[in-house]
Amino acid sequence: MTRMVDVKELPDLVGKEVGISDWVRVDQERIDRFADLCGDHQWIHVDVERANREIGGTIAHGFLTMSLMSTMSAQIMRVKDVKRGLNYGFNKLRFTGVVPAGSEIRMRMKIASVEPKAGGLAITRECTVEAKGQDKPVLIAEWVGVVYV
């Protein structure tokens, strides 16, 4: 369930985990659609036969995993009563593992900082994406968004 947070509560959340998303399935169809969208048809993503033979199966694009963070973030937390929110970018982003086709991933989110920025508030989130059944994260990131009230 999405946690609804008042903008005034944000500073109190610094240093705290605010939630965990639902599991999101990353199947071959999603990988193929992403490849078509972004133009990255590298065989490790889309050639099922070759990938099965050479590496044990296809894997999701790192940028596909990253793009799913928006969906997962919306499942974790929303800030109430803001005029708009903008993606400001990443301070750090690392693809630390692979997401095999058919995997399920989810994201944990912690608020690292809340600071004034360009007439709004910059919210830096420490995000960890994990794949079901894997011991280590597949993606770690410091993701910054700015909200305006």
As its CATH architecture, domain 3-26+60-148 has: Roll (3.10)
Burial class (CB in 10 A: 0-12, 13-18, 19+), 32: middle
H-type alpha helices, 2-143: 28-38, 43-46, 48-55, 62-67, 69-76
User: ∠ CA(35), CA(71), CA(114), 5° rounding?
Assistant: 125
pLDDT of 50: 98
Q: Tens digits of per-residue pLDDT, 32-72? A: 999 999 999 999 999 999 999 999 999 999 999 999 999 99
Cα distance between residue 126 and residue 112, in whole Å: 6
Residue 39, C-beta contacts closer than 8 angstroms, at least 6 positions apart? none
Distance from C-alpha of 135 to C-alpha of 66, rounded to nearest angstrom: 19
What does the pLDDT look like over 11-23, one tens digit per residue? Answer: 999 999 999 999 9
Q: What is the pLDDT of the chain when averaged over all its residues?
A: 96
Task: Say if residue 1's pLDDT is above 90.
Answer: no
Neighbours of 73 (CB within 10 A): 21
pLDDT above 70 covers what percent of the chain? 100
pTM of the model: 0.93
**pLDDT of res. 121:** 94
